[in-house]
Chain A
Amino acid sequence: MIGGALGDGRLGAGGESPSELRIGLIAVLIVAFFLIFMLRLFQLQILEGADLASRSQSNSVRSVRLEAPRGDIVDREGRVLATTRPAFRVQVIPNDVRAPELTYPVLAELLGLDHEKLLQKVGRPRGRRRFQPVEIEGDISHEQRARVETHRYALSGVVTDILPRRHYVEGERAAHLLGTIGEIDPQELASDEFDGYRSGEIIGKFGLEARFESHLRGKVGGQNIVVDVAGREIEVIHEVLPVPGGRLVLTLDLDLQRAAEQALTSSDPEQPDPMGAVVAIDPRNGDVLALVSRPAYDPNDFAGGIDTATWNALRGDEWKPLRNRAVSGQYPPGSTYKAIVALAGLVEGVVDPEEEVSCPGHYRLGRRTYRCWKRGGHGKVNLERALVGSCDVYFYQLGVALGVDTIATYATRLGLGRVSGIALQAEQPGLIPTMEWKKEARGEPWIKGETVSVAIGQGYDLVTPLQLAVAYAALANGRTLYRPRLLQRLETWDGKFVREEPPSQGVSLELDPDAIESIRRGLTAVVNDRHGTGGRARLPDVLVAGKTGTSQVVSLDVVKSFEEDEIPVRFRDHAIFAAFAPAVAPEIAVAVLVEHAGGGGGAVAAPIARQLLARYFEKKKERGEEITPVLPSDAESAVEDRRDDGD
């Protein structure tokens, strides 16, 4: 028998057979439960049955979501960029419309809608869909609302409520930074990131709205309401109040943002606004003070669900207004890159600041000849003169002497060729070529001639305007590369402190201070020397240091086939200017890029930077702070030149 094999002799070890167990007690417990359930069923179905049955036919419980207002986004001084305002919504519950032949025409009249269209919107829902509200209008005016409310008697089944709606106070202002919101799509709904979301919910889709979705969102509440046949509310049986979303306090300075956007606006209303990007950073800590991308869009268009026409127009636009050029646009840095090549030359000891190179207007390497932008040449130039005149030949030679990999080392140390880690989506890394990169990406060895183009910021070199600002901020402080910080702190909706975004600790550059000093002097001269290419960024009371640049979009051969005025916009050069000020103890670093400007960095980009810098120091004066005096010993030469200029 099986038992024989299995029995371990413990049967009844305690001297207790199953029949002696108090199983009866358990039976009593179970029967007690059974009786309670019976009584309860009797109570609900027999005693209260009729009442509850009538309730199921006449009254119903409706669950209403109370949307939480999305949190505000404010600048460093607490000025609101994005907030939430109430919007009045009109809905129809088809089942509760008792006199459709009266209700629908009246409603259409009141809202100024076409009767037929309104009927179409409602459709002929069946089954449980009859009980679900159909939205007629999502954002009606106060007058319309007043009209609907006064005609309530004729409008059984029409429900009005107030929904929070996103409002971007200054329209296009900082649009790319703030981003967009929109209805959650099925893919997002299925992802872990949106655990707990429902379909139809509004989420941040891009920019800060998306990045800080969880903080901005808040917590929805709701009400269970007993309503009568006519859809009138009888009582609220449960209520959970929504918790508004939290506030984002940015490092952005709205005044500077405005100034930068105005500077990128065409003064002639007939002319289209320039396209491009402006980034301003505090070189002392990496705080982003302004970040502009043009062309822009109005994020308010997205707030109530964007209509197809507007969306298609934005999507189909040749110049891609939805793209944040400041972080996603990759451009050859052009001559602004020369400051970095110069720094590499000085630190590596390949060049002495005073060493002179002769520029005859061209440079020969092997069998090829490379031209300087100045046909006649710059004559004899030292480092400072080479920066001031943006001499290509000087940097061709220096670049070849350094080699592409050494240049790349310095560029990378200054944050180029990799994402900065700013709290925005779709940041592009740019590209700083190395020999290894070319072998991997192109499967070909590096050609020395390519180093020549790389040395003047052309060829494979690509940077984003943000990276350029970050690199110049690092040159400005001379010691540290900071990760750009956009968010200062998170707060709850009522201003309670939640979390400080710690300022970037930065990476120490460990560069020779003398080399930095030479670069600073050179860049100061670019703006302040009478021969300097950056003269249009000059300020009367503050010493600005910067570098102009022009980046080719297509090779010269393509452009040559057109007359000067007829070059198609998309083939025109980009104008670039990167700067910091004051030249000594800098407080602000700026990068300006104007796409297809039809002019050089000095002519087009420098004046834009100037407006932004002017606003910064003007604000400082308004606050009553002293501006760093212009006359430190190491800037003397530049000031002398200015005096010459004035004579």
Chain B
Amino acid sequence: MLRVDRRSIQNFDWVFLGLVLMLVACGTVNLISATAAGVEGGMSDIVRRQMAAMAGGAAVMLVVAFVDYRHVERFAMAIFAVTLVLLVLTLAVGVVTRGAQAWLFQGRFQPSELAKIGLVVALARYFHRNPPRSMTGLRQLVPPLVLVALPVGLILLQRDMGVALLTLLVALTYLPLLHIPLRAWSGVAVLAMAGLAALWSFGLKAYQQQRILDFLDPSRDPLSSGYQAMQSRIAIGSGGLLGTGWQQGTQTQLRFLPTQHTDFVFSVLAEEWGFVGSTLVLTLYFIMLLWGLWIARSSKDGFGAMLAVGLVGTLFWPAAINIAMVLGLAPVIGVPMPLFSYGGSALLSAAIALGLLLNVSMRRYVF
């Protein structure tokens, strides 16, 4: 099973790997600066821990890349089930320990990160066996909807609105591929969205909205999120065209951004490297995503293609939400930026996703 075909090696996707390594390098350099304030010389513990996680992530990525992904298809439902069990476990244990300390220990590993991958694997298997074109009615959408509802529901029970939304969006990546009456879909979707938006802005008073948000995410602090959003805009703006220079951002180095090494890591980049630097990094990131889609398109089987599409989703949506939030285009919901934010679980899930993409890519000519 672990025998690796010679042709796979020959077809190893060096371009994709190169893109990933460049982004990881940018992320690390940026994280060093984001956590540098108050650290005399050398690196902060946060960076050290993140680097250890990167070493682990690299190993995971390589292993994942070289185990034929069709094994993944065979065990898709088992993988999915395991991630669900992990979610249930967090829920069970999480009820007992909700305090600050619990977050420290629990925070080492967030099963919801793996759940995204598990969901993608399960959906890829389903859509491979029931190709979009063969779908004739809405009834065939019921099984994938159930697949999506399971992890999203469990994450909602954890009261983690941000990640639940994210998981849902990852699943929605498949939507453009489906051939179900698009007009009907968009009609329903537009109506639902409009209805919800109208209800939210006209039907609910400010304090009611507040209450709903607080209910969905009790750790949310509206004041501090407003503060962060404001400070983030100031930081980004003061970057200007060329930026203030590495470790020179006044907003960053004075720690005006409370979560600058996690959720607001991109504003550090934007302040210190300016429009040029942040544009460059964004471009690299989006090229990586498009390359992922190309991997999907050139895959030789349906599962590989579906898998790659979903994996691109797991890398696209958190980045999109995070950057939208940092740029003040979306409300502040704590979603980390892949490869840039500090956090071991997110890094692990990104490593798995990238490994699987490499996997699909290097077997594009194998069969």
By the criterion CB–CB under 8 Å, are A240 and B222 in contact? yes
A31 to B320, CA, bound (A): 11
- Asked if residues A55 and B234 are in contact (CB atoms below 8 Å), the reply is yes
- Cα distance A573–B236 when bound, in Å? 76
Give the dominant DSSP class at B's interface. Answer: helix
B131, B230, B320: the one within 8 Å of A15 (CB): B131
B275 touches A46 (CB 8 A): yes
| B237 contacts partner chain A, Cβ-Cβ < 8 Å | yes
B354 contacts partner chain A, Cβ-Cβ < 8 Å: no
User: How far, in angstroms, from A18 to B329 measured CA to CA in the complex?
Assistant: 34
Which residues of chain B have C-beta atoms less than 8 A from A112's C-beta?
A: none
> Is B327 an interface position by the 8 A CB rule?
yes
Q: Is the CB of A52 within 8 A of B233?
A: yes
B38 nearest CB neighbor, chain A only: A127
B259: which A residues are within 8 A, CB to CB? none
Assess the B99–A192 pair: CB atoms within 8 A: yes
Bound: A19/B308 CA distance, A: 13
Q: In the complex, are the beta carbons of B282 and A34 less than 8 A apart?
A: yes
Closest residue to B178 on the A side, CB-wise? Answer: A22
1/0 per position for B245-273, CB-CB distance to A under 8 A? Answer: 00000110011100000000000001000
Residues of the B chain whose Cβ atoms lie less than 8 Å from the Cβ of A34 = 282-283, 286
Tell me, rounded to whole Å, the shortest Cβ–Cβ distance linking A100 to chain B. 20
List residues of chain B with CB within 8 A of the CB of A224: 223, 226-227, 230
Max chain B CB contacts within 10 Å: which of A10, A31, A44, A53?
A44
Is there contact, CB below 8 Å, between B237 and A192?
no
Smallest Cβ distance from B59 to chain A, in angstroms? Answer: 23
Which residues in chain B, 38-75, are within 8 Å of chain A measured between CB atoms?
38, 68, 70-71, 73-74
Report whether over half of chain A's contact residues are helix, strand or loop; otherwise say mixed. helix
Q: Which residues of A contact B283 (CB under 8 A)?
A: 34
Within 8 A of B (CB), among A11-33: 11-23, 25-27, 29-31, 33
| Selected contact of B237 from candidates A3, A26, A45, A196, CB within 8 Å | A45
User: Which residue of A has the minimal Cβ distance to B316?
Assistant: A30
Question: In the docked arrangement, what's the CA distance between A263 and B158, Å?
Answer: 56
A3/B316 in contact, CB under 8 A: no
Question: Which B residues lie within 8 Å of A16 (CB)?
Answer: 131-134, 302
Shortest C-beta distance, A13 to chain B (Å), equals 7
B297 touches A23 (CB 8 A): yes
Contact between chains at B234 and A26 (CB < 8 Å)? no
Compute the total of residue contacts between A and B using a CB distance below 8 Å: 210
Whether the pair B128, A21 counts as a contact (CB closer than 8 A) is: no
B327/A40 in contact, CB under 8 A: yes
Flag if B290 contacts A27 (CB, 8 Å). Answer: yes
A474 → B minimal CB distance (Å): 39
Q: Which residue of B lies closest to A35 (CB)?
A: B286
A25 to B99, CA, bound (A): 44
Tell me if B237 and A30 are in contact (CB < 8 A): no
Task: Please state if A18 and B256 are interface contacts (CB–CB under 8 Å).
Answer: no
Complex formed: what's the CA distance from A46 to B275 in Å? 7
A544-B44 Cα distance, complex, nearest whole Å? 74
Query: A26's contact among B219, B312, B329, by CB below 8 Å, is which?
Result: B312
- Check if B208 is an interface residue, CB within 8 A of chain A: no
Taking the closest CB of chain A, its distance from the CB of B302, in whole angstroms, is 6
Residues of A near B73 (CB, < 8 A) are 6
Q: Known A14-B134, A237-B230; judge A27-B254 contact (CB<8 A).
A: no
- B318 beta carbon closer than 8 Å to chain A: no
B 87-104 to A, binary, CB cutoff 8 A, 1 in contact else 0: 000000000011111100
12 CB < 8 A contacts A-B: A3-B70, A7-B367, A10-B129, A18-B299, A18-B300, A22-B176, A53-B240, A55-B238, A63-B227, A131-B254, A192-B99, A196-B218
Q: A52-B238, A223-B223 are in contact. List 5 more A-B contacts (CB 8 A).
A: A10-B129, A19-B298, A30-B316, A41-B270, A128-B254
B-binding residues in A (CB < 8 A): 1-3, 6-7, 10-23, 25-27, 29-31, 33-34, 36-38, 40-42, 44-46, 48-53, 55-57, 60-61, 63, 127-128, 131, 189-196, 221-224, 237-238, 240
